[in-house]
Structure 1
Amino acid sequence: MSSQQLDRTVAVPDEVLLSVLLDHTSDLLLVVAPPGEVVYASPSLLAQLADGDALVGRTALHLVHPTQRELAREVHYRCLQTGQPETVDLQLLLRTPSVELAYEPGRWFQVTMHPRPGLGLVVTGHDISARIAHAKELEHLAFHDRLTGLANRVRLERELDRPVRGRRAIMVLDLDGFARINERVGETGGDAVLRSTAWRLRRMIPAGGLCAYLGGDEFALLLTGIRSPAQAEVLAEQVVGALAEPVRVGDDVLTVTASAGLAIDVGDALHGDELLRRADSAMHLAKQQGRGRTVVFDSAAAARAAARAEVARRLAAAADEDELVLHYQPLLALASGRVHGAEALLRWDSSTGMVPPDEFIPVAEEAGLVHELGRWALRRACADLVALPGLTVSVNVSARQLHHDSFARSVEQALSSSGIAPERLVIELTESAVVEDPAAAQAVLGRLRRLGVGIALDDFGTGYSSLSYLLHLPVDTLKVDRSFVADIVTDRRTQLLVHGITTLAHDLGMSVTVEGVETEEQLEAIRQTGCDAVQGYLIGRPVPLAALSS
């Protein structure tokens, strides 16, 4: 720039330079008289208003979002009283900028109010909408689950900690058999099921409620303004019913049920953590009762749940504490009249005494311990077989064990470590374990059969009996349930039915064992049916290994 140009620039009057600067500033600039009327607004600000010409002469509060006008009024008053500038973030009612805000209309400015004696306030500010949007996005991510879009556990716990008036309730839901769903449709399909569940729950949640994803296969609904416990119970049943509607995942159509626990605060001012714990406790009780059930928390149920939790804790350590043992119930071959094998039955000799199987087996299933217990039983049974020359041993296997990824490998390891011949081990499973996923069961049992391990189908005739299972599964032995034995002496139809099962099994290359034989008359009637072996208290009760071998 030449000296002449510089001289001309310097010669421009100050008021002209000020006018140029004000006309071209992109920031907010206002002059507000002490009562609050706008006496000056920068052109850039006026251009962003729907009715900019009408701003001058009106109160500056018209620019502020209604929810923040009280805050703006307080800061304005303090500045005039103290003579000190103050800075505050305010949402203003300007046109929407290029940055789209997903949360609230308007734009955010960081505003500073500068008191000027005799003039009022000079208000300056710059747009912080992008920063606010980013902060709110981070807040959203911190309190919401990315997969489902629902509130997460942190958000739920925050809401539970808020003081409330009136009744509230919380429902905890757990999808039944979700691990099996993941195995069937893969992780991507499992995610689709979770998103579908979240969508259905959103449709069901009443106004003022909160729907949350707790992780894994668990969800929660926080209900406020509950008029009565009955209202919450009806809603819980409706939610469970809605979730049971079929879900399409790719080419698969799945029926996904959920077990629900409901806890209601009826004026006890329960802490949020306690309310959530109660709902979770009730949910676990619901799962014990079967699929698609709803249980409302009560103190007696809580005591039972606590007792079961203690049993589960002790059971988890039972193997390490050397408290688990196997008892053996003999199987008698009718042709030879000799014991040719035994069924291994798990027993828990705890520090407080012998725990009945019907008490700890359901707890093991619920707590996810059944696979570890089953693996221990396999290893011990194979090791015990070394002391039982000439006998076979049957080991019971649950549906969860059978479908576990490492089940077949655990059988191979038990055989290898003991050194026994595979044909001396029989895997005994129920029809329900097969019907859960026949194709998967066929694959696992086929692998075991190729090893030489025997396969027995237990409790035959009591549940899902289908002759197609016998055609497609590599079964060696059918075990006829004890329910057929009770009337076999006097009921001709029962005799014919057992005889028919035996004939069919023999034609398919299978042997037949009848369970529950307790009297000589029953034994004689069973001989007439042509079956191969019997088991029951008449033959022998379950006994420790030493008693069986002697």
Structure 2
Amino acid sequence: MEPGQHSTGGAGRRRFVAQVVAPALATVAAMAVLIAALVLFSARQADRLAFQREHGVISTVLAQSIARIAHDQEGVTVWDDAVRHVRAFDQDPVWLDTNLGVWMRTYYGHDEAFLLNPKNEPIYAMRGGRRISASAYQRGVEDIAAPLVAELRRKLRHPSPGDVGPSALTPGTIDLAIVSGHPAIVSVKPITSDTGTIPQAAGTEFLHIAVRYLDTDFTRELSERYQLEGAAFAKQPLAGRTEGAVPLLSSSKQLIGYVVWQPFQPGSLLVKRVAPVMGASLLLIFAIVTILLRHVRQGTLRLEASEAQAQHLAFHDPLTGLANRALFDDRLAHQLAHARAASSSLALLYLDLDGFKSVNDTLGHPAGDELIRQVGTRLASLVRSTDLVARVGGDEFAIIQCDIEGPAEAEILCMRIVEEISRPIDIAGTQARVGVSIGIAMGPADASERIDLARKADIALYEAKSAGKGRYTFFAEGMDASLRRRKEIETALRAALETRTGLEVFYQPLYSAQSGAITGAEALVRWRRPQQGFISPTIFVPIAEEAGLIEQLGEWVLEQACRAAVKWPIGTISVNVSAVQLRNAHFAERVTEILKQSGLEPARLEVEITETSFIENAANCQPNLTALRARGVKIALDDFGTGYSSFTHLRNFDVDRIKIDRSFVSGIGSTEDGSPIIQAIIDLAKASGLKVTAEGVETAEQRFFLSQIGCNSLQGYLLSRPMPAKAMDAVFRVGGHSSALADTN
């Protein structure tokens, strides 16, 4: 090798060191210092945010516990049975234990409970799940509860619109205080009638007092459920400690004490663990940086090309080109972190297409794919460049609306989306129509963590679809508890149907408006749970429809009603049937089998469906209705007047009877007189050859009016309440209709 060449090579190496290696090493060193500073800063920020989150969790849980205790009470205080039993408290104290005392401990975790008579004298006391002497009230809680009792009595005697909250059934008073040495929530609620049939003079109600300690189950729940280390109650935070503290204040701003805990410090913990590794890593980086720099240029170009392609495939939906679930989750987490740091807001929208399955089944999967593509394009055209639209499921989309002022901006976007998606979509030479339901959760107001915010948006979407679809709904705290309650009821109902326990069919007689004789009966399903008592059908029947249980439930009711009615001397037995059952192609065949097995003549069975579901599902229901009519089964339309109310529809579908809704019957003789409406319905029904039954007859005035204008039959509490099959057996065993009518007419 020539000297010149050697010299040139050495100079080249020196220039490489001077121009590339040395600046690179200096840059690495500077970056190391910067990274260390950022890590320390981020650690402090993480510690602060963790503290704020834990402080917020405690404050929120405390507020929810205060609100929930009054809600818990209403589950047993707004109840006819409770009114009757407290008035006879000395006759059945065990009932008070089971429903108003010990049960409140076992089911809701209340620590103490007291009952006061209208003179504010204690008649019952419970502490720690055991009944104790009522005199414990004066020794323990009277001084604290007395002002709350006085205030509630004032509200009951002189009610005002603001006394009952939007989610409450009755007025109440509540406060924080020290009870039996414990910080506690003290809530007072009146015991009132749920039906309004039991008279109570205002201000003379029995009162229920519930006490829940905040230094036992409450702090234990904070520690276990929310992972708050060392959560406890303290009269004063300890000096020199790093623990956090949330003050407990009564309504008069009196300090009761503090909920204290040891804050989690993720940043500090991370620094302690990462610092040694970072030091070793920096030394290694300095050792190998020169070698790596030689390959940077070529490697970078190759990497950028392959990474861009891989990243697009990994984070985008192949059908629509929109972001997929992975990119959506990542962006949502980042935007939430940004919103927390910048004190801004974002809206998370979950969207589900209404009617997509029908398009997919009718036009085929290629048409369904094209519809999804066009919906994705429309959604992308409605948002800003800073927002994100993602396809997260088959016909499910999600939108992250970033940096907004508040819910109003999200609402405007939702209105535009509902309008845009409802426009016809051209697919394969035809026009398809779908709708969209939207659930919205606001971050970080509703939740500061990605998973929790997504869950709440999904809950809001569920509520939107349950409310009728084609709409948007913002998340509210009550939805979470409502959804859990619905799931719990669904599970219990499924078990009840499997074991046939707790379910029973009651029967409410129908009476001739002219003769007063029993002409038929309506079968009504009832469900009694061991701890909760009777569950209203308005609660569990819609849940059964959503959960796919309504056909099983309806068939069971039909079997029970036919077997019971075959031995009664009545004209017809009416059974409510849902549109879901009528859409089943084999429903008419199954009804025929049940009639044969029970021995009931088809002409004695009357199938009732509601007016709205009847009209909306007419095309799907008509084959079964036609088949049932051919076998002699009668058809009745329930709740007439609340829906379409078209007599043209009724003639087309061969309805035998209409049942006037109770909302019209209740207006007879009132200032908003429903009498002319009822007269018109009956006149038109007669002209159409239909029989008319009036529901909800509760006064003699209503009964007289309806019998005079030509109503065929009457049904209501004035005549008879629903009763179990054994009670109906007893009615007919004691001489037919006459003895029963003597008590009801």
Tell whether the structures are fold-level matches, with TM greater than 0.5: yes
Cα separation, 2, equivalents of 1:81 and 1:469: 85
Q: Letter of the aligned partner of 1:462 in structure 2? A: T
Q: Letter of the aligned partner of 1:285 in structure 2? A: E
Match of residue 391, structure 2, among 200, 205, 213: 213
Determine whether 1:332 maps to 2:504: no
Count of equivalent residues:
443
2:415 corresponding residue in structure 1? 237
Cα separation, 2, equivalents of 1:86 and 1:254: 54
Determine whether 1:533 maps to 2:713: yes
1:41 corresponding residue in structure 2? none
Cα separation, 2, equivalents of 1:85 and 1:483: 83
Q: Letter of the aligned partner of 1:156 in structure 2? A: F
Determine whether 1:431 maps to 2:605: no
State the shift of 1:510 in Å.
2.5
State the shift of 1:474 in Å.
2.0
Pair member with larger Rg: 1
Determine whether 1:165 maps to 2:343: no
Deviations 1:162-217 (A, max 9, x none): 57422443211233455666677676766555444333222223324333334354
Cα separation, 1, equivalents of 2:629 and 2:440: 46
Cα separation, 2, equivalents of 1:388 and 1:193: 57
- Equivalent residue of 2:473, what SS? strand
CA 409–229 in structure 1, closer or farther in 2 if over 3 Å, else same? same
Q: What is the correspondence of 1:428-467 to structure 2 with a 5 Å cutoff? A: 428-467=608-647
Q: Letter of the aligned partner of 1:329 in structure 2? A: Q
CA 349–231 in structure 1, closer or farther in 2 if over 3 Å, else same? same
Q: What is the correspondence of 1:331-410 to structure 2 with a 5 Å cutoff? A: 331-334=510-513, 337-351=516-530, 352-388=532-568, 390-410=570-590
CA 527–228 in structure 1, closer or farther in 2 if over 3 Å, else same? closer
Match of residue 691, structure 2, among 511, 519, 534: 511
Cα separation, 1, equivalents of 2:320 and 2:496: 39
Q: Letter of the aligned partner of 1:257 in structure 2? A: G
2:455 corresponding residue in structure 1? 277
Match of residue 420, structure 1, among 590, 600, 605: 600
Q: What is the correspondence of 1:82-231 to structure 2 with a 5 Å cutoff? A: 91=301, 136=310, 140=313, 150-161=322-333, 164-166=337-339, 167-176=345-354, 193-215=371-393, 217-231=395-409
CA 203–84 in structure 1, closer or farther in 2 if over 3 Å, else same? closer
Contact 1:402 1:433 in 2 (8 A): no
2:245 corresponding residue in structure 1? none
Determine whether 1:547 maps to 2:727: yes
**Structure richer in helix, relative to its length:** 2
Contact 2:513 2:706 in 1 (8 A): no
CA 82–259 in structure 1, closer or farther in 2 if over 3 Å, else same? closer
Contact 1:495 1:529 in 2 (8 A): no
Contact 2:447 2:453 in 1 (8 A): no
CA 481–78 in structure 1, closer or farther in 2 if over 3 Å, else same? same
Contact 1:229 1:266 in 2 (8 A): no
With normalisation by structure 2, the TM-score equals 0.52
Deviations 1:120-164 (A, max 9, x none): xxxxxxxxxxxx99x849x73x76556655444455345445574
- Equivalent residue of 2:496, what SS? coil
- Equivalent residue of 2:539, what SS? helix
- Equivalent residue of 2:349, what SS? strand
Contact 1:385 1:391 in 2 (8 A): no
- Equivalent residue of 1:475, what SS? coil
Deviates more, 1:533-542 or 1:382-391: 382-391
Contact 1:262 1:296 in 2 (8 A): yes
2:497 corresponding residue in structure 1? 319
State the shift of 1:521 in Å.
3.0
Deviations 1:366-405 (A, max 9, x none): 4444344333323332333344354422122233443345
Match of residue 292, structure 1, among 453, 460, 470: 470
- Equivalent residue of 2:498, what SS? coil
State the shift of 1:280 in Å.
0.7
2:663 corresponding residue in structure 1? 483
Q: Letter of the aligned partner of 1:327 in structure 2? A: F
Cα separation, 1, equivalents of 2:563 and 2:326: 49
Deviations 1:79-105 (A, max 9, x none): 974899999765469xxxxxxxxxx9x
Contact 2:508 2:722 in 1 (8 A): yes
Contact 1:489 1:525 in 2 (8 A): no
Deviates more, 1:472-481 or 1:328-337: 328-337
Cα separation, 2, equivalents of 1:186 and 1:415: 40
1:523 corresponding residue in structure 2? 703
Cα separation, 2, equivalents of 1:201 and 1:233: 15
CA 528–362 in structure 1, closer or farther in 2 if over 3 Å, else same? same
Contact 2:585 2:624 in 1 (8 A): no
CA 214–525 in structure 1, closer or farther in 2 if over 3 Å, else same? same
CA 86–241 in structure 1, closer or farther in 2 if over 3 Å, else same? closer
Cα separation, 1, equivalents of 2:446 and 2:673: 60
| RMSD over equivalenced CA pairs, Å | 4.0
CA 185–86 in structure 1, closer or farther in 2 if over 3 Å, else same? closer
Cα separation, 1, equivalents of 2:728 and 2:695: 18
State the shift of 1:362 in Å.
3.5
Cα separation, 2, equivalents of 1:353 and 1:191: 49
Q: What is the correspondence of 1:35-74 to structure 2 with a 5 Å cutoff? A: none
Cα separation, 1, equivalents of 2:607 and 2:716: 19
Cα separation, 1, equivalents of 2:488 and 2:649: 39
Contact 1:327 1:347 in 2 (8 A): yes
Cα separation, 1, equivalents of 2:628 and 2:430: 29
State the shift of 1:538 in Å.
2.1
Cα separation, 2, equivalents of 1:472 and 1:280: 41
Contact 2:697 2:716 in 1 (8 A): yes
Match of residue 306, structure 1, among 471, 484, 487: 484
Cα separation, 1, equivalents of 2:13 and 2:692: 101
Unaligned runs of 5+ in 2: 1-11, 21-284, 340-344, 731-745
Identity %: 40
Cα separation, 1, equivalents of 2:513 and 2:461: 48
Deviates more, 1:381-390 or 1:316-325: 381-390
Contact 1:334 1:533 in 2 (8 A): yes
Cα separation, 1, equivalents of 2:405 and 2:321: 29
Q: Letter of the aligned partner of 1:282 in structure 2? A: A
State the shift of 1:432 in Å.
0.7
Contact 2:595 2:601 in 1 (8 A): yes
